[in-house]
Structure 1
């Protein structure tokens, strides 16, 4: 039977072909296999659902909120329990807690996205340069990394925020400064495993510069491990931002930041538990979602795991 007489491949067979006809087919095949591994993990799908729900809530906050997140009825609606009018109750200024949590999701995404955008590339660059260059460059960069790792993240973030001043932007910058060292360590370890491999030697013999080798050939190999670590760190970033907000060094009033909301509600924790309890549950759910998503990505992107 000739090739023209052969039955056409199904979409699944085309994606799983052991001999892809193009780079695009190979990339789509890898993405499909990764998605199969990820979707087989039910807890990972729960985490993905939570994060998608967070994105939807943040995008539609103005529509989903039932009241103003900044203005409350101090005279008639102070510290009301959850009801049909105020789903999560009200705070000490008569503001609807549900609406503040909905709008606070935007601040949470703002923090985690900016920290990831700032910290991950810095850690990736430091780790790959350190691992590929070796020698005194490796020693200097890793000792700087060790200095940052020697301090607890929250304590170091507190020091930077105290120096920069309170505010959500300074809190993001402080968390990013304290978050890059683990990414540098991961990138360096990945680089050391491929630095002396045959394909890197072949690229060197072709005359590629060290900059091109690091940027085009080594960094892409580190991305999967870095993505997993960043996703798993999202929960820690949220907790650090909430801790700074709780201490009054993060988002400033009247911004509906979840940590600041807990701080304002701690005075009423015994009698009006919903004031601090509702934002605390929001932090718990979102942090759990990022952890479940990170665990699923770690299993799906592990090159040593077989196809399921």
Structure 2
């Protein structure tokens, strides 16, 4: 009743202790989460960095001052703050700022593809293993242990070596090596909820295992997986940059940050800006995802919320 007397989407409506609908309740929970996140200044800084990355990628044609692939040997290796090239140029005279801006698209492309593949697969593996237990749990977890036994970059290098260099194969290799931690997290969450009373009630109502897993167990694991995804973004970006640095990821002349560091490493002592600028971009974006992940953990983790 009180929710109907207030203006929809107002603060009082969102914080109504007796929501009139499921949508109002979910929006209220999201608003409370935002308030908690906003009280964490480091998380806000991380969110601002991530939003800036997305905005930079979306507005790359507007923000870039030059064609990122255009070469000009007359202006090669210009230092920062040069006329028309405020971050300098590389060994082919290409504007570093413009390449960084378009490189944000490549980074976001890799992050997006890995995010919609590895966590989903890991979530399914972990939920199935934790719910059924027995030999299914043993088989899936031993497979997970095999993937976890190898360092992620080394395993990604092996997959890319088998598949061939290229950004598509690099994304596939990163996804194939990134799913085991999500499976572990989802399994641990599933073990805590599979014996809950509401799961038993749903089972007594005749719901099958598939419906229970997808509608009742998996949603309980999603917040923990989201937190893990955000915290893993820095590692994913570094792995993609490492593959590009070794020439196994994005290929020239694509403006990928790891590839830019690789091409600029031979000028590091004299023309330091060629490799330093993309290195700083990787550092700032990785820091942003880590700060945002820490903040989301405080918001989404029910154990921290209860403290």
State the TM-score, normalized to the length of structure 2. 0.96
Identify the match of residue 81 of structure 1 among 71, 79, 82: 79
Give 2:62's aligned residue: 63
Alignment of 1:47-58 (within 5 A): 47-58=46-57
**Relative to structure 2, which stretch is displaced further, 138-147 or 13-22?**
13-22
| Cross-structure match for 1:249 | 248
CA contact (8 A) 1:262 1:279 kept: yes
What is the SS of the residue equivalent to 1:87? coil
Q: How does 1:117-266 map to 2 (within 5 A)?
A: 117-266=116-265
- 1:14 Cα deviation after fit: 2.9
Please list the CA deviations of residues 108-158 of structure 1 after superposition, one character each: whole Å capped at 9, or x if unmatched. 000011001110110000000000011100000000000000000000000
1:274 aligns with 2:289: no
Q: Output the CA distance in 2 between the equivalents of 1:93 and 1:63.
A: 23
Task: Give, in whole Å, the separation in 2 of the partners of 1:178 and 1:307.
Answer: 33
* TM-score, normalization by structure 1: 0.95
Q: Indicate conservation of the 8 Å contact 2:166/2:248, yes or no.
A: yes
Q: Deviations over 1:249-269 (max 9, x none)?
A: 000000010001000000000
Q: Deviations over 1:19-46 (max 9, x none)?
A: 2222112111111111111111111111
Who is 1:90 aligned against?
Answer: 89
Deviates more, 1:137-146 or 1:81-90: 81-90
| Structure 1 residues without counterparts, runs of 5 or longer | none
Per the TM alignment, residue 15 of structure 1 is displaced from its structure 2 partner at its CA by 2.2
Q: Distance in 1 between matches of 2:151 and 2:289?
A: 21
For 1:126 and 1:213, how far apart are their aligned partners in 2? 15
Alpha-carbon shift at residue 307 of structure 1 (Å)? 8.2
Deviation at 1:305, TM superposition (A): 3.9
Q: What root-mean-square deviation, in Å, do the aligned CA atoms of Structure 1 and Structure 2 show?
A: 1.7
The answer to whether the Cα contact below 8 Å between 1:81 and 1:272 also exists between their aligned partners in 2 is: yes
Output the CA distance in 2 between the equivalents of 1:79 and 1:12.
54
SS in 2 for 1:304: helix
Cα deviation for residue 68 of structure 1 reads: 1.1
Task: Tell me if 1:298 matches 2:297.
Answer: yes
Residue by residue, what CA displacement relative to the aligned partner does 1:166-218 show, whole Å, maximum 9, x if unpaired? 00000000000000000000000000000000000000000100000000001
Separation of aligned partners in 2, 1:175 and 1:25 = 38
Pair 1:17–1:7, CA change in 2 (3 A): closer
CA distance 1:219–1:7, change in 2 (3 Å): closer
Count of residue pairs the alignment pairs up: 304
- Mapped to 2, the partners of 1:295 and 1:84 lie a distance apart of 40
* Alpha-carbon contact 2:298-2:305 (below 8 Å) kept: no
> Is the 8 Å Cα contact of residues 130 and 188 (structure 1) preserved in structure 2?
yes
Alpha-carbon displacement from aligned partner over 1:74-104 (angstroms, at most 9, x marks no partner):
1x11111111311111111111111111100
Per-residue deviation, 1:306: 4.5
**Structure 2: segments with no counterpart, 5+ residues:** none
Displacement of 1:291 in angstroms is 0.6
Contact 1:33 1:307 in 2 (8 A): no
Larger deviation, residues 12-21 vs 113-122: 12-21
